[in-house]
Amino acid sequence: MLLRACGAVVAWGMAREFQDDLVSVNSARLRALGVIRPGAASAVVSFGEGADALKREVKVWHRAFRNGRGISLFLCPACGGKAQLLKLYDGGLRCRNCLKRSGVQFRIAYGTPAERAAAVAKRIEALKAKLAGGPLRVKPLAGGMTVARRRELELSLSRALVREREKLLDAEGR
């Protein structure tokens, strides 16, 4: 039996793929580590370590700001669009829009209720870990800041906890 889900035909009982589970590479992190250099036309990204690593060359787009800093973004090999994050899917790199067109969605939005609940719990735990002082930046800020973007993280965590409480209250009310 076949099922049409998110624009893709999937065999019933077959495990679906979600963007959350795919291996990804981030242009901002690679620029901070020095893998992507300002002015370079492309960069080699690797998935894995040693001789077994899967390596791909990706074109890079740069924007220099007036303050001397800048941003580097990948150019998606599939569609040519700018993307900060590329994910490995079927042996090739794709941006989130290409994955969405291929029928690969995010678990938190398109999973089963159990999958969505697990994704929400995982997100809440990740937010708590970040607020407890987990690694957030490759280059920590000067001035002794322990957590960058603390206010945004606290707001995100409180919203997620409120939604969880509302779901529990709705379930009790039924």
Give residue 83's pLDDT.
94
Strand 2-5 to 8-11 pairing: antiparallel
Give residue 135's pLDDT.
59
Q: pLDDT higher for 167 or 141?
A: 167
**Is the per-residue pLDDT at 11 higher than 60?**
no
How far apart (Å, rounded) are the C-alpha atoms in residues 58 and 31? 13
Mean pLDDT over residues 109-131, rounded?
A: 81
In the chain, what percentage of residues exceed pLDDT 70?
A: 82
Could you give the dihedral angle defined by the CA atoms of residues 151, 157, 163 and 168, in that order, rounded to the nearest 10 degrees? -140
**Is the per-residue pLDDT at 95 higher than 70?**
yes
Distance from the first to the final alpha carbon of the chain: 34
**In the β-sheet with 42-47, what is the strand arrangement from edge to edge?**
42-47, 54-64, 70-75, 82-83
Q: pLDDT higher for 27 or 109?
A: 27
Per DSSP, what are the bridge partners of residue 94?
Answer: 87
Lowest mean pLDDT among 8-17, 37-46, 132-141: 8-17
Single-letter code of the amino acid located at 8: A
pLDDT band at 144 (very low <50, low <70, confident <90, very high): low
Give residue 86's pLDDT.
92
Per-domain residue ranges of the chain: 2-101, 112-173
Give residue 1's pLDDT.
34
**Is the per-residue pLDDT at 34 higher than 50?**
yes
Tokens representing 167? 């779901």
pLDDT (tens digit, 9 = 90+) per residue, 50-91? 777 888 899 999 999 998 889 999 999 999 999 999 998 888
- Burial code of 83-96, b = ≥16 C-beta within 10 A, e = fewer? bbebbbbeeebbbb
pLDDT band at 139 (very low <50, low <70, confident <90, very high): low
Give residue 94's pLDDT.
92
- Secondary structure class of 79 (helix, strand, coil): coil
Tell if the pTM clears 0.85, that is, is over it.
Answer: no
